[in-house]
Structures are given as C-alpha cells and as structure tokens.
Amino acid sequence: MKGEIWFEDDGKRIDLSKVTRLYPAVMIHAGGDSASVSLEWAELKADVVTVEAYVLICDFDPVGEIPVNRVELRYATKEALFQAMQEIAQKLQD
C-alpha cells in the first residue's frame, strides 16, 4: 500500500492516497441556478449555459456511498484543469 501522496493547488492540500473518486466537472450557470455537470455536457450546451469554473472533484468516501467528504479544486480554464490532472497523474505514477 502506498503512503501519502500530496497534491497542493487552489490553496488546498490533498492526500491523493485517500481519494476514492477523482473526476473533472464544470460549474455552470443556467436559468438562474448553478450546477456541476460533465465537461462533455457543458460543451454540448455551450450556447445556453455560462461556465463559472472548471472543477476537479476529489471524493474521500467509500465508493458506493453518497459522497460527503469532498474537496473541489476550481480552475478558470479547461487547460488549467487538464494541467492539474496531468500533475496528479504523474504523482500517482511515481
């Protein structure tokens, strides 16, 4: 079992070895509400939604349980989100 694997970004420090789910999303604004959606959906609906931020969601609860312990890292661009994802992938491979 791997030890702690730390990733720091967006003013937060996360132990990646404790993350049970890690996935990208987009915070959008549409119809007066904000919601977290998949990148694909946000791109399909780009003409009717406003992107507030790109988000990397880190869940710490066991898979199958409703995620309560969650950290969201926010990015201004999709490129910044993808860069963070590459950094995390590298840390997990080391």
Among 70, 33, 37, 69, which Cα is nearest to 54's?
37
In a domain, 1, yes or no: no
Among 81, 74, 31, 23, which Cα is nearest to 52's?
74
Core vs surface per residue 39-74: b (16+ CB within 10 A) or e:
beebeeeeeebebebbbbbbbeeeeeeeeeeeeebb
In a domain, 85, yes or no: yes
Number of folded domains that form the chain? 1
In a domain, 76, yes or no: yes
In a domain, 28, yes or no: yes
Give me the amino acid identity at 39.
L
In a domain, 55, yes or no: yes
Q: Give pTM, 2 decimals.
A: 0.83
Per-residue pLDDT of the chain (94 residues; tens, 9 = 90+): 467 889 998 788 999 999 999 999 999 987 788 899 999 999 999 898 889 999 999 999 998 888 889 999 999 999 999 999 999 999 888 7
Radius of gyration of the chain (CA): 14
